[in-house]
Structure 1
Amino acid sequence: MRILIVDDEAGIRKTTRIAIETAGHEAAEVANGARAMKAIEDEQFDVVFLDLKLGLEDGLEVLARLLKAQPTLHVILFTAYANIATAVEAMRRGAYDFVPKPFTPDQIRGILAKIERTRVLQAKVSSLEGEIASESPPVDLEPGDPVTRQAIEIAFKAAETPANILILGPSGTGKSVLAREIHKRSARRDAAFVTVSCPSLSRELLESALFGHVKGSFTGAVVDTIGKVAAADGGTLFLDEIGEMPLDIQPKLLRLLQEREYERVGEAKIRRANVRVIAATNRNLADDVKQGKFREDLFYRINVIRVALPGLHDRPADLARFTASYCAFFSARLGKKIVGCSPAVTAAFASYPWPGNLRELRNVIERAVILSGSDTIESCDLPDEFGAKSEAGIEVGARVTIDALEAEHIRRILALSRNLDEAARTLGIDPATLYRKRQKLGLL
């Protein structure tokens, strides 16, 4: 790393430089803030060691100027023991760490090793983000459909405020994508975006996942866990499918929203967290409130800004654009040169109800590109839902057995669902029953 030492004492600069260079890094040194600013304008530095007392200069002011000029700098403060409170304040303003004077060379090398580990982790995160981006089609948040456009405009206006947001819409309409984009456009963009999938966990595990637990609080709690609320402190907590949250957990979420307080499972200590909540659901929460399935006070607390995303079948203006975008993405990813869809496929897409919405369209296009043997997607490249099964007679009212009809319905629901639990809920049966039916009908 390239490191700048900013201190008005020549002896401190020399000692620090020797420790830095023996650790295998490059070092430069200056005696005041003005020369430090000139140095980072002329050269790229990774780390700055900065004295809090530079003669008559205030180190906090120099810190602010350095970070404004180069926000990625890791700034380490030199401070006397009497000024440790000031050093802590400096860390709140963006400093990475501080070293109390007098210090040893090993302390300098220890901090540099910690920074190196941080840089490695940041590089891995950037690499993973790049890989994830390359695995997913680009996000399209400029719809041609006027209803969807208005909904997204409302979401983006609300993004800049601290208001809680409720995103409504059928499964697969992009609610989680919109939630993440709201976070990116908010004042909390530099903090964490943490997702909790409410349907994916049992009541006990959901409470623990949200609020954390202490060791020994329940069977399997072998270590303390901080929970997603603590992980999202200062950022955004996204509650996916909040309509599935058990009633006995809802008061605890309400307390978090109202008082910013919560307790870990098995612990009486009150903790505080500053989180912005974005919730999403495919249920009608107003009806659930009337039926006693969802708390009215919690509903009003999360329903400050409501954004409703229509299903893909109600967005004909966007269907062709999404189809072309997915086709181009998967063609490039798979090394094919597919220019579009045949007229028959375009007509089939226009008449299809798209119960799985964008998620289903993405899967259909990916499958079609994989199977396509020409430069266009043809009807034979599409799943059975687009005609093949109908020709075989597997339709409601056709002369087929109940078992055949049930098998086809279960197969389609499985294709549209993220997991077996979601498919079982859609079908109105428990996962064990779904497993037995799949076994009986030859769908395993």
Structure 2
Amino acid sequence: MSSNSDRKFNHLNVLVIDDEANIRKTLSYCLAAEGHTVIAVSNPVDAVEEARRRSFDLAFVDLKLGEQDGMELIPVLLSDSSWTKVVVITAHASIKSAVEAMRRGATDYIAKPFTPDQIKLLTRRIGRIRELETEIAALKEDMQRLGPEERLQSLSAGMQRIVETARKAAPSDAIILLQGESGTGKSVFARAIHHWSSRAAKPMAVVACPAVPPDLLESELFGHVKGAFTGAVRDYPGRIAACEGGTLFLDEIGDMASSVQAKLLRFIQDKEYERLGESTSRKADIRIIAATNADLEKRVAKGRFREDLFYRLNVISLIVPPLRQRPEDIMLLAMDFLAYFCRANHKAIFGFTEEAEQLLANYAWPGNV
């Protein structure tokens, strides 16, 4: 496990919905003392509005909200953010209501009166669940890539300087623009920067801009509501909401449609966006890393990329050199690939002949790795 595996979800975004001011105050105090960010409201309307404006890791929902039933609020909150953990709180505890709450998607159930220690234990457990969910998602993504172990070790002085710069930039929230030819390892750098950052315990979402049709890229990033367009049969939160607190990696951003560029620019400036088909502004706390194999300055000059967006993205620029400019790394990478494919195919091959090494060293590597 990586050195970041001990980073917990120490900070949760929590929504409290209770019609009793006393309960809202008590819960807010307990949660804030644990370092969590708390929004407390008294009714379902305000709860839904807050849930649409920002993402929450955890929601405490009172079952009796005046004349309204808190049970009805559970699926509404989950439809906006399926990862939100809902904890039902009530003074009228019963096995029947607990079972019904779980059936509707609640994660836990707590009866009034409760103690601060109960709340602390509960939030720590929820934090651990969110951490495990993120780790599982990352592991699934690693397995789907079916590539060799990703390493940024290099014998090239130039590459070492770029790795060191990336390490120094990782703890900040500054946007990073990765530039270089296809196959030079820009996505490896993006994952490493996320791994080295304070956001490592939160999700990282990857959007390959050329892989998504231009008319769907806006929905993929910002989400949509049911009925926003033909085929939108259900609400979709979008990648930005899905990586709340984490990192959004925009691969090959030079191919992004101009209409989406404008909306991305506004999000970078204001940290606000709207889902397609919805007028409610939402907030998100994410770090953006972008990558391109294109010369964005040339695209700006030709009117194919927004100049203002380019300057917003070009805060910290890392140019990853092609493999032909760092020949000392060829055998290092070759041995990595050999070890990987031996494991994958149950073979035992321990190296290359001198002739094979010479062929590898003399090859131009037009596609890099």
Three-state SS of the structure 1 residue aligned to 2:249 is strand
Tell me by how many angstroms 1:248 deviates.
2.1
Structure 1 unaligned regions, length at least 5: 1-67, 72-76, 359-444
Q: What are structure 2's unaligned runs of at least 5 residues? A: 1-6, 11-15, 37-57, 59-84, 109-124
Which residue does 1:129 correspond to in 2? 139
| Alpha-carbon offset, residue 279 of structure 1 | 0.1
- Name the stretch that deviates more: 274-283 or 103-112: 103-112
Partner of 1:83: 23
Q: 2:259 aligns with which of 231, 241, 248?
A: 248
Give distance in 1, aligned partners of 2:178 and 2:266. Answer: 21
Corresponding residue number in structure 1 for 2:220: 209
TM-score normalised by structure 1 residue count: 0.57
CA distances 1:244-295 after superposition (whole Å, capped 9, x unpaired): 0112221111100001111222222222222211000001111111111111
Higher helix share: 1
8 Å contact kept, 1:211–1:228: yes
TM-score (norm 2): 0.68
Q: How many residues align?
A: 285
Kept in 2: contact 1:260–1:273 (CA 8 A): yes
Structure 1 vs Structure 2: percent identity of aligned residues? Answer: 39
User: Alpha carbons of 1:211 and 1:288: their partners in 2 closer, same or farther (altered >3 Å)?
Assistant: same
> Cα deviations across residues 119-142 of structure 1 (Å, max 9, x unaligned)?
699589649827945943222122
Written as runs of structure 1 = structure 2, the 5 A alignment for 1:271-350 is 271-350=282-361
**Shift in CA distance, 182/128, structure 1 to aligned 2, threshold 3 Å:** closer
> Which of 187, 192, 198 is residue 198 of structure 2 equivalent to?
187
Secondary structure of the equivalent of 2:219?
helix
1:290–1:121 Cα change, 3 Å: closer
Quick check: 2:9–2:201 contact (8 Å CA) kept in 1?
no
Alpha-carbon separation, structure 2, partners of 1:214 and 1:348: 55
SS state of the match for residue 206, structure 1? Answer: helix
CA distance in structure 1 between the partners assigned to 2:95 and 2:269 by the alignment: 49
CA gap 1:89/1:354 in 2 versus in 1, 3 angstroms: farther
Alpha-carbon distance in 2 for matches of 1:127, 1:295: 33
Residue 145 of structure 1 aligns with which residue? 156
Distance in 2, matches of 1:189 and 1:106, equals 40
Report if aligned partners of 1:243, 1:283 keep a CA contact under 8 Å in 2: yes
Task: Please state how far the C-alpha of 1:322 moved relative to its aligned partner.
Answer: 1.0
What is the deviation of 1:217? Answer: 2.2
1:104 alignment partner in structure 2: 94
CA distance in 2, matches of 1:227, 1:253: 13
Alignment-mate amino acid for residue 218 of structure 1: F
The one-letter code of the counterpart of 1:249 is V
What corresponds to 1:218 in structure 2?
229
Q: Note if contact 1:169-1:175 (Cα within 8 Å) is conserved in structure 2.
A: yes
* 1:367 alignment counterpart: none
Q: 1:192: Cα distance to partner?
A: 1.5
Tell me: higher relative CO, structure 1 or 2? Use CA pairs within 8 A at least 6 residues apart.
2
3-state DSSP of counterpart to 2:338: helix
Find the aligned partners of 2:8 and 2:189 in 1 and give their Cα distance: 32
Residue type at the aligned position of 1:247: S
Give CA-to-partner distance per residue, 1:4-53, whole Å, 9 cap, x none.
Answer: xxxxxxxxxxxxxxxxxxxxxxxxxxxxxxxxxxxxxxxxxxxxxxxxxx
* Aligned pair partner of 1:231 in 220, 242, 248: 242
Report the AA paired with residue 155 of structure 2.
G
1:300-351 CA-to-partner distances (Å, cap 9, x unmatched) read 1011001111111211111111111211222123221101112221111111
Within 5 Å, which residues of 2 pair with 1:57-72?
Answer: none
Counterpart residue type for residue 303 of structure 2: G
Q: 1:146 to 1:171 in 2, by over 3 A?
A: same
Q: Residues 87 and 98 of structure 1 are in contact (CA less than 8 Å); yes or no, is this contact kept in structure 2? A: no
Q: Is structure 2 residue 107 aligned with structure 1 residue 114?
A: yes
Counterpart position of 1:45: none
Q: 1:86 to 1:141 in 2, by over 3 A?
A: farther
- Does the 8 Å CA contact 1:84/1:100 hold for their aligned counterparts? no
